[in-house]
Amino acid sequence: MISASAIGGIAASGTSAQGGDARTFVVLLDPSASTDAATQSIQQAGGSVEKLNTAVGVATVRSTNADFAQQVRAKPAIQGAAADREIGQVPAESRTHREQAEIERLQAQRDAQRGAPGVTPNVATPGDPLSSLQWDMQAMHATVDGSYKVQQGTKDVRVGIIDTGVDGSHPDIAPNFDRDLSRNFTVDDPVIDGACDTDPDGSCDDPADVDEDGHGTHVAGTIAAPLNGLGIAGVAPRVDIVNLRAGQDSGYFFIQPVVDALTYAGDHGIDVVNMSFYIDPWLYNCTANPADSPEEQAEQQTIIQATQRALAYARQRGVSLVAAEGNESTDLGRPDFDDTSPDYPPDAAHDRNVDNSCLNLPTEGEGVIGVTATGPSGRKAYYSNYGTEQADVAAPGGDYRDFYGTDKYKTPGNLILAPYPESVGRAAGDIDAAGNPTTPFVVKDTKNGQAAYYQYLQGTSMATPHVVGVVALIVSEFGKKDRSQGGLTLPPDRVQNILQKTATDTPCPSPRLYEYQSDDLGPEYNAYCEGPAKRNGFFGDGVVDALAAVQPRG
């Protein structure tokens, strides 16, 4: 049997058939077989094991055998195999990643407003200096007069950030950052992330306190920026932040690092993980789509099984799983078309008709809490995916095109403000040589001569950490001592029950077909909301409420 032990690596020196360029594969091992038997099968097919996760039976394998995946699937002790990355080939920029970045970062708008005056916070607002800019926290009562008065979280609760990394040196992250537990499960790949010497730290081997994208740092700050008189405060300003980096600088998330991060979370007492991503290369994983080749179908089957194994492993060990619904403005219960997959290797995407049997992972994985995004007016954000089966709760994610007051349409203030790594901001031109923001999408705050930077982003990626923060508060308030891993723990079923019961019931709009009235949004963004106020496709069981979640149960 494959042992449920910690992540380990073994070296296998099988003779690879010379059939093409070296490539890496993800291989799913039969859980009833021994690790030795699986390794032998991999070697016989011409592969060598580079990394083995014995907890869930997933291996990263390198081979030059062009038929490796097909051959290894036929071997004993193997359940599946999926091509991962081609070594030495530069991919074209993924359209899905490019569109995702544009939705979240609004690069064109950010560039167009270079030199414009920044926002001015209201210093009279209670809390940290930039609290008046956090409409998101006000909307869910995560404020000095709200949940902060009852529960701010505790270091006994560990929050795992499965993302592009976390800048552990950021002044508004550092007080809650756990260096000892943090890990990096991936390595920068020059063919997709750029040359190593162009990285801010000049290396592809990043330590576990680095974020060269900024996405993971934004997420971490929304969850747990401390209430410390600097910048902003997160939903749970006293909990423990653990960086479980699984995403590339380029925004790709491949299956092996994700599986490794989830199993590590299960083995090390992590209470909740934030998953604001989808697993590449398939936006929708279909087991038998006729538009896909048999090889591609087998790849997707492997990704589904590996993901479900890892999710189950973590959840069975007390990890609550929270994931973003995605930013394609799609009813995930009725997806019908995908022309962006696979987004790796380059130029491999093809048109596919898809349906509800296809899975967007990890969002549609078993036991995962799916999160939709709202704008400052409370509406479903124009980009947010939705669906009666998939949407469990909603949370503020920002909406640049929301009509929130007469002066707030298409302004950065409609987005979510959270920490921004200074090195990334300087490299992007958002911070000048003198240390000043060059765009109103970036805000600077200073305490005792130390500068800290924050950026405005939007997306279901930004909504999800609000939910994770509330989960962390729930475990802080109602958790019991974890006798095996230390800290506190609370069964994920109970966490989800409290989370959804205390969310604010939010009905569908009237009429149910919501038309997004904007000068640059076409009718393809219009969305139909199904279900009653207690449970519908836009808001799930409601918009999360930090204060209600930590008040004593009746």
Residue ranges of domains in the chain, CATH in brackets: 23-86 (3.30.70.80), 95-550 (3.40.50.200)
Tell me what the mean pLDDT of segment 281-288 comes to: 97
- The CA distances from residue 30 to 1, 63, 76, 77, 261, in Å, are 9, 20, 8, 5, 21
What's the one-letter identity of residue 304? I
DSSP-H helix ranges across 331-430: 422-427
CB count in 10 Å sphere of residue 140: 26
pLDDT at 189 over 50: yes
- β-pair partners for 177: 241
What are the pLDDT digits (tens) for 375-434? 999 999 999 999 999 999 999 999 999 988 767 889 999 999 999 999 999 999 999 999
Distance CA 371, CA 471 (A): 13
Distance CA 24, CA 312 (A): 25
Distance CA 378, CA 399 (A): 10
Beta-strand pair 442-447/488-489 = unpaired
Distance CA 183, CA 161 (A): 10
- The CA distances from residue 297 to 182, 292, 337, 366, in Å, are 35, 6, 16, 20
Distance CA 408, CA 503 (A): 26
Distance CA 185, CA 265 (A): 12
What are the pLDDT digits (tens) for 519-541? 889 999 999 999 999 999 999 99
Tell me what the mean pLDDT of segment 330-351 comes to: 93
Which are the contacts of 511, defined by CB distance < 8 A and separation ≥ 6? none
Short-list 83, 241, 86, CA closest to 170:
241
pLDDT at 36 over 50: yes
Distance CA 126, CA 13 (A): 62
Short-list 269, 306, 235, CA closest to 29:
306
Written as six digits, the tokens of 147 are 């949940």
| DSSP secondary structure, 196-248, as one string | GGGSTTS-SS--TT-BSSSHHHHHHHHHH---SSSS---SSTTSEEEEEE-B-
Secondary structure (3-state) at 309: helix
Written as six digits, the tokens of 170 are 């950021």
| DSSP secondary structure, 531-542, as one string | S-TTSBTTTBT-
pLDDT at 18 over 70: no
Residues 417/130, Cβ–Cβ less than 8 Å: yes
pLDDT at position 20 is 55
Distance CA 329, CA 123 (A): 36
Distance CA 540, CA 174 (A): 34
Written as six digits, the tokens of 26 are 């993800």
Residues 212/189, Cβ–Cβ less than 8 Å: no
pLDDT at 9 over 50: no
Distance CA 27, CA 70 (A): 11
What's the N-to-C CA distance of the chain in angstroms?
46
Q: What are phi and psi of 533, to 5 degrees?
A: -60, -35
What's the one-letter identity of residue 112? A
Residues 104/327, Cβ–Cβ less than 8 Å: yes
Written as six digits, the tokens of 212 are 């060269």
Tell me what the mean pLDDT of segment 253-278 comes to: 97
- What does the H/E/C string look like for 125-179? CCCCCCHHHCHHHHHCCCCCCCHHHHCCCCCCCEEEEECCECCCCCCCCHHHECC
pLDDT at position 235 is 99
Please give the DSSP secondary-structure letter assigned to residue 434. T
Question: Which residue has 């060598």 as its token pair?
Answer: 48
Tell me what the mean pLDDT of segment 494-498 comes to: 98
pLDDT at 19 over 60: no
Distance CA 89, CA 101 (A): 22
pLDDT at position 203 is 67
What are the pLDDT digits (tens) for 424-469? 999 999 999 999 999 999 999 999 999 999 999 999 999 999 999 9
**Cis bond leading into 362, ω under 30°?**
yes
Distance CA 223, CA 274 (A): 9
Written as six digits, the tokens of 324 are 């973003």
Short-list 326, 324, 328, 342, CA closest to 286:
342
What are the pLDDT digits (tens) for 100-155? 889 999 999 999 999 999 988 998 899 999 999 999 999 999 999 999 999 999 99
Instruction: Give the angle 237-240-246 at the CA atoms, nearest 5°.
Output: 115
Tell me what the mean pLDDT of segment 280-300 comes to: 96
What are the pLDDT digits (tens) for 63-109? 999 999 999 999 999 999 988 876 666 666 777 788 888 999 999 99
Distance CA 138, CA 142 (A): 6
Which are the contacts of 553, defined by CB distance < 8 A and separation ≥ 6? 498
Percent of the chain past pLDDT 90, that is, above it, reads: 82
CB count in 10 Å sphere of residue 164: 29
Distance CA 158, CA 139 (A): 25
Give kind and range of the element (H or E) at residue 453: strand 450-457
Q: How many CA atoms lie within 13 A of 508 on its CB side?
A: 19
Q: What are phi and psi of 175, to 5 degrees?
A: -60, -25
Question: Which residue has 């756990």 as its token pair?
Answer: 178
